[in-house]
Structure 1
Amino acid sequence: MFELGIGDKKFKLAYKDYIRALNLAVKISRLGAGRNGCEDKVIWACILFTRLCVIGRSLKKLLDHDVSKEYKLDWDYSSAFSLTRNIMECYQTLFYLCFDDVSNEELKARKYLFNIHDYYSRRTFFSFVPEAIENNRENIEIEEFVINQLKGNSFFKTLSEQQQKNYLKGKNAFFISREEIEEKEGVSKDDFRFWYKFLSSNVHSYPMGFFRMIDGDRGTGVHSEVEEKNSAIALELATGYLIRGCLNMLIFFPDIKEKISPQEKQLLVL
């Protein structure tokens, strides 16, 4: 279970804990690479976990501050929030496609729905560049293929007629909400909504992102108590998702447990 008691750690400690989790995640990613003959969900896990680590390294670079230099430039918690939200969303996709304990037919349906969403997303994107679409007949065949894949799936057939109709439009990538994904691992929906909204409201240039910016001593690029505290929150949230990813990857690759140190096992409470 992932606890969301976030906001109490000082920046230095939050950063130190985050680096430990990130280093372990990168180690597990490398030890799990290059394995052939694995089932689809394991292959997807390796791809998405690698993405998780890459985003994590970007967050590390952004928040590598020496807090003793009070007015050092480049403090930007809102960008840290953006990367943290990316980590959050990447992990949720990773759990949804790979770690969730559902039937093989439902897993296939989830992948087929992703294919449909991908197809329509690309079609919409390339509609702005008509010359990029060379073979309309080929596109029609692809559309029919991805739709028929999902239509023929036994899990998909258990959904109501209205649900099936909506999913076939390609606007949804998931059968369940992000809140439901979090709930499957013991996170309350309200906790998740709070932190996701908190991250999002500071990422976008909407009122909550910049109103009272100067009064709040934030968003000017220099060190402040608000910048430091919010950066620590970003690190704490990101650390939790990295640890969740590590724990689930070790279920796929139990042999890796023998290749990590006692200190690393302690980090994961193994």
Structure 2
Amino acid sequence: MSFNKFPAGVIDKKLMADCLKKEEKNYKDINFIELEKDYNDILFILTQLVNLIHEKQIPVKEWIKPSEILLLKLASHSGSVKQVATPVPIYRSGSNLIAIRDVPSVYVLSRAQLECYLTLHYFIFSPQNDGEGKFKQLLYKLSGLSNRQSYLSTLPENLERKEEEARIIAELLLEIETNEYYQALSVDLQKKVKKRNPPARLIGWEDLIRSSRLKDEIFLSSWKLFSNHAHSEFIGTMQFQDYLVDSMATNKMVYHVLQLNLMILCVTIIELLNLFPELIPDYVSSVSIEVRTTVQFLSKFAFKE
């Protein structure tokens, strides 16, 4: 089934033009108040859509069921990064509190949010058929359990769990070998799957971004920037030093990153409406046209052409 960038219908051009003006003005003014309002509205819409899947008792294929916890994880990262972006006091000078925006933590959580979306896209949104979806979920589970086999265990209950998981690993390998998607893989990739500690995914993060619907020029460079801070690289330390002495530059950067986080939320909503079209009537009837316009505008900006 082809992907629809406008599952809830195309928004009127005038509304989209008005949204562009609003976004440009807010960015120019570094208007955190308006950004936070949009952020809260759209974050709450995402979690409401997840809840609706249960309320409407929408049938969910077995390999798609892990999407719920991944969506809630993405929502959790999104909420946390907004909180962390608020200035925090770190020093007292007489009666004055000195507050800064914790840019490194904003970057680390933004990376976690982006990688959570990429995980959702790889395992849930991108599979073209059940065979591919089942294989990717089987490998995801196989990788996690296989890696845990190398953990040192001495307690009886942990040893018992390792034995049980070793049995599950053997069953997963048998199921993978009969999977049509696995059988169509190259010999090298099949060997990769059957390694002692197989990867959770057959491609790395950079290739995940390139193969996703996100624009490489925006999100690949952003992921690399976030990673510099996640790993305490020298370049990240230098950037943080600059942020400490230039509050205006810091505010602009944090605003920009929160906009990227908001784009990921909007993109995820569009992906979810494609995955579960049964949610579209509720989305249209319960979400204001202004908010739906923002979702369409920001997701359109984030998606590849």
Q: Tell me the TM-score normalized by structure 2.
A: 0.73
Please tell me whether residue 197 in structure 1 is matched to residue 224 in structure 2. Answer: yes
1:45 matched to which residue of 2? 67
Amino acid at match of 1:247: I
Shift of 1:269: 2.5
Amino acid at match of 2:42: L
1:224 matched to which residue of 2? 247
| Distance (whole Å) between structure 2 residues aligned to residue 140 and residue 209 of structure 1 | 41
Asked if the contact 2:206/2:220 (under 8 Å) is kept, the reply is: yes
Aligned to 2:149, the other structure's residue is in SS state helix
- Structure 1's 77 and 19: CA in aligned 2 closer, same or farther, altered over 3 A? farther
| Distance (whole Å) between structure 2 residues aligned to residue 249 and residue 108 of structure 1 | 19
| Distance (whole Å) between structure 2 residues aligned to residue 166 and residue 97 of structure 1 | 18
Amino acid at match of 2:154: P
Select which of 28, 44, 51 maps to 2:46.
28
Bigger relative contact order, structure 1 or 2 (CA pairs below 8 A, ≥6 apart): 1
Please tell me whether residue 86 in structure 1 is matched to residue 86 in structure 2. Answer: no
Shift of 1:177: 3.6
Most deviating of 174-183 and 82-91: 174-183
Deviations 1:200-256 (A, max 9, x none): 102222211224754x243xxx87234323312321221111110111122212233
Please tell me whether residue 238 in structure 1 is matched to residue 261 in structure 2. Answer: yes
Most deviating of 141-150 and 71-80: 71-80
Deviations 1:93-117 (A, max 9, x none): 1111221151210111100110111
Most deviating of 166-175 and 78-87: 166-175
| Distance (whole Å) between structure 1 residues aligned to residue 133 and residue 207 of structure 2 | 16
| Distance (whole Å) between structure 2 residues aligned to residue 75 and residue 190 of structure 1 | 26
Aligned to 1:192, the other structure's residue is in SS state helix
The number of aligned residues is 255
| Distance (whole Å) between structure 2 residues aligned to residue 18 and residue 94 of structure 1 | 25
Higher helix share: 2
2:76 matched to which residue of 1? 54
Amino acid at match of 1:243: C
Asked if the contact 1:18/1:239 (under 8 Å) is kept, the reply is: no
1:9 matched to which residue of 2? 27
Deviations 1:76-125 (A, max 9, x none): 1010000100110011111112211512101111001101111123223x
Asked if the contact 1:99/1:248 (under 8 Å) is kept, the reply is: yes
Please tell me whether residue 209 in structure 1 is matched to residue 230 in structure 2. Answer: no
Deviations 1:35-86 (A, max 9, x none): 43422355333322111111111111112349xxx97414210100001001
Tell me, which stretches of 5 or more residues in structure 2 are unaligned? Answer: 6-25, 89-95, 298-305
- Structure 1's 162 and 256: CA in aligned 2 closer, same or farther, altered over 3 A? same
Please tell me whether residue 130 in structure 1 is matched to residue 154 in structure 2. Answer: yes
Please tell me whether residue 260 in structure 1 is matched to residue 277 in structure 2. Answer: no
Identity of aligned residues (%): 19
1:4 matched to which residue of 2? none
2:174 matched to which residue of 1? 148
Asked if the contact 2:131/2:181 (under 8 Å) is kept, the reply is: yes
Asked if the contact 1:82/1:200 (under 8 Å) is kept, the reply is: yes
- Structure 1's 98 and 208: CA in aligned 2 closer, same or farther, altered over 3 A? same
| Distance (whole Å) between structure 2 residues aligned to residue 202 and residue 143 of structure 1 | 35
Asked if the contact 2:182/2:190 (under 8 Å) is kept, the reply is: yes
Asked if the contact 2:30/2:251 (under 8 Å) is kept, the reply is: no
Please tell me whether residue 73 in structure 1 is matched to residue 114 in structure 2. Answer: no
